[in-house]
Amino acid sequence: MPSATPTPTGIAEAQLLDDLELAEPPPRPRPVLAFAAQIDDPLVDHEADRLPGSHGEHLLQCAYGSRDRAKKFYDTQVLDHLNDAMAAFIRRMDMAFIASADAKGECDSSFRAGPPGFIQVLDERHIAYPEYRGNGVLASLGNISENPHLAILMVDFVRDLIGLHVNGVARVVDDDEMRAAHPEIPAEFDRGRTPERWVVVEVEEAYIHCRKHIPHLQPVDRNRDWGTDDTRRKGGDYFEAKGTPRPRHQVVQTSGQ
């Protein structure tokens, strides 16, 4: 895997690109729930450093009496890499849900889809998914540029009714750099399109999402308007948001004007 952090490319001014750091943000104070603040941490100097998960979830497991169940799940289901079954599962997935957050902790969730295998398994500790030309908002990539922690959920709604969580640290890699490091990636990856860039994720946690509440869905043929920028055909204003006034559009009048 390339070790150097790539410089973002595009049409932005050079100074803006110089100021954009794809790195871990400075540590932020950890918010504490009011009731959790009253609980002595039973894991201090004991198990907290070696258990997966967050400090908050460990405390709540103790508060709500689920610590033993959680520890069993950690011990039997949570890996720090992809095993063969996980890798095979990822290679046949055609959709994924991506969760990210910026440096302030503001969250975003996004949907990605493509042909089966559009998420590339590079090795047991790295996966990558493509980014194509889209609406230009770049919400997920913007979050990654501030806070590289990323969570991916893949669900098989059709055959096995099971899900896989992959959490890790992400970085953005231009398509030409990605292909130089991994020439086995198909040249025309999805309907003749070439990705503009890739999100490469170093796996920190990989674990199952149980099937208990996963619905059984059946794919059906449908007509898709591939490659169009027509708003109506894309359903771009389905929720009729276009004409809604927004506070940020209001001009603040100051005295004397």
Average pLDDT, the chain: 81
pLDDT at residue 173 tops 90:
yes
Last residue of a domain, one of 77, 94, 128: 77
Look at residue 124 and tell me if it is in a domain. yes
Each residue's pLDDT tens digit, 188-199: 666 677 899 999
Averaged pLDDT, 190-217 = 92
Question: Nearest to residue 10, comparing CAs of 155, 142, 193?
Answer: 142
Residue range 162-187: mean pLDDT, rounded: 94
42-51, 69-78, 180-189, 233-242: the lowest-pLDDT one: 42-51
Residues 120, 200 within the same domain: yes
Q: Is the pLDDT confidence value at 46 over 90?
A: no
Domain count, the chain: 2
Range of 48's domain?
Answer: 36-77
In the prediction, which pLDDT does 51 show?
84
**Same domain for 112 and 199?**
yes
86 plus 187 within the same structural domain: yes
Instruction: Give residue 227's pLDDT.
Output: 62
Both 203 and 134 in one domain: the answer is: yes
Considering only CA atoms, give the Rg of the chain.
21
For the ranges 34-43, 78-87, 101-110, 125-134, which has the lowest average pLDDT?
34-43
Place of tokens 């794919």: 219
58 assigned to some structural domain: yes
Residue 142: how many CB atoms within 10 A of its CB?
Answer: 14
The more confident residue out of 188 and 38 is 188
Residue 249's Cβ-side half-sphere holds a number of Cα atoms within 13 Å equal to: 5
Claim to verify: residue 66 and residue 123 sit in the same structural domain: no
What is the predicted pLDDT for the residue at 22?
Answer: 45
Q: What is the mean pLDDT of residues 139-162?
A: 97
Taking the C-alpha atoms of residue 219 and residue 35, their distance in angstroms, rounded to an integer, is 46
For 8-21, what is each residue's pLDDT tens digit?
A: 444 445 454 444 44
Q: What separation in angstroms does the CA of 148 have from each of 82, 192, 205, 226?
A: 19, 30, 14, 31
Residue 91 domain-assigned (yes or no)? yes
- What is the pLDDT, as a whole number, of residue 10? 46
C-alpha torsion 134→140→143→145, nearest 10 = -60
Residues 173, 179 contacting (CB under 8 angstroms): no
Q: Report yes or no: 153 and 163 within 8 Å, Cβ to Cβ.
A: yes
Residue 176 sits in a domain whose CATH number is 2.30.110.10
Whether 85 is in a domain gets the answer: yes
- Which pLDDT score, from 0 to 100, does residue 118 have? 93
